[in-house]
A and B are shown apart, each in its own frame.
Chain A
Amino acid sequence: AQKVTQAQTEISVVEKEDVTLDCVYETRDTTYYLFWYKQPPSGELVFLIRRNSFDEQNEISGRYSWNFQKSTSSFNFTITASQVVDSAVYFCALSEASLLYNQGGKLIFGQGTELSVKP
């Protein structure tokens, strides 16, 4: 079964704190992709990162970093020195990719984590 679990429904931090958003996934596939999206109060989903199952290197982009661990089926997202503009709902998503399953690249989303950064 394909499933994405974001156990943290809401997180509240004060500006400049570091915060980590957890994502755990389940998949039957050996080839898959993981994504993070941001949904600010305006509502439009914004792509943040894409990672394939064969690349376990951690990635850093400015204040954002991602930790992918296949051994624990996790793909966690850390924001360093959070800012008020980071307030949004963040979604982790999975896409299976083997032609064996032919899932067509659809995204399976988690429930989302609502991050509130207070000044």
Chain B
Amino acid sequence: DTGVSQNPRHKITKRGQNVTFRCDPISEHNRLYWYRQTLGQGPEFLTYFQNEAQLEKSRLLSDRFSAERPKGSFSTLEIQRTEQGDSAMYLCASSLITTGQGAIVVYEQYFGPGTRLTVT
């Protein structure tokens, strides 16, 4: 098991350009999450998938952001018309989730190394 991988590790782009990031989760995990982390802050939730279905999006995720997880395997996060405020570390994580009586069983999330985006 090679863990969660993300590509690219660094991306520098000019304002207004589109960027796409890729995340490859741990293969047996059914949940995939995207977070954003800015300097000095904790990661903030953006969106998550269970298999190929996107089940929740944060209000942080403007309409310039879109995420996909075709076939329930890898995921992509695209940012259109980037703005300087989009500069951050974008983190992907995967985990197992199972459903019990009235609650979900939440297992630990394993994080990738992140993609650092710089918008100039």
Contacts and interface: CB of A to CB of B under 8 A. Distances in A.
Given A43-B113, A44-B113, A45-B111, A105 B104 contact: yes
A6 B96 CA distance: 27
Interface residues of A, number: 29
Contacts of A37: 111
A111 B41 contact: yes
Given A50-B107, A97-B106, A110 B97 contact: no
A52 B100 CA distance: 13
Given A98-B102, A112-B42, A107 B89 contact: no
B103 A97 contact: yes
Interface residues of B, number: 32
Given A43-B89, A45-B43, A99-B103, A107 B113 contact: no
Contacts, number: 77
Interface in B71-97: 89, 91, 93, 95, 97
A112 B44 CA distance: 12
Interface stretch (B17-25, B48-56, B62-70): B48-56
Contacts of B12: none
Interface of B: 31, 33, 35, 40-45, 48, 50, 55-56, 89, 91, 93, 95, 97, 99, 102-114
A15 B50 CA distance: 43
B53 to A, nearest CB: 11
Given A31-B103, A98-B103, A99-B103, A109 B44 contact: yes
Contact of B33 (A31, A46, A106, A111): A106
A106 B35 CA distance: 9
B61 to A, nearest CB: 12
A88 interface: no
Contacts of A91: 42-43
